[in-house]
Amino acid sequence: MDMQVLRERAGLSRAEVAFRLAISETSVRNWEAGRTEPTMTPKKYLDALRLLKCTPEELAIASEKSINQRHKRKPGRPRRFPNNQINSVTPVNQANSIDSSLCN
């Protein structure tokens, strides 16, 4: 069970959770996407437990699962230099020594 499942199980939208906890909807989205972990005051923490109708253990497990799912996703962009091309790039010092030998 992840953060989104907890919210949906309570029958709430992201906007409702954000409004009732007095936080931004972006924060709720980031929790569900695993970008950030829920950080809140003790009062808000208790409010979140009541709102999501879950135990502290369920909230902790859901948060950890959301974070772990994010790290398993494929990256959005390809690497700038694929591994096999890094070694083929001529270092700056070597390039300078080659250029200076051509001038002599």
Each residue's pLDDT tens digit, 4-31:
999 999 999 999 999 999 999 999 999 9
> Does the pLDDT of residue 40 top 70, yes or no?
yes
CA distance 39 to 28: 11
Kindly report whether the global pTM for this prediction surpasses the value 0.75: no
- What secondary structure letter does DSSP report for 90? P
- For residue 12, the SS3 value is coil
Please give the sequence-ordered ranges of beta strands (E in DSSP) within 15-96, or none if there are none. none
**Domain spans in the chain, listed from the N-terminal domain onward:** 3-72
Mean pLDDT of 53-64: 93
Q: What's the pLDDT at 94?
A: 52
CB atoms within 10 A of CB 32: 22
- For residue 70, the SS3 value is helix
Domain 3-72 has CATH 1.10.630.10: no
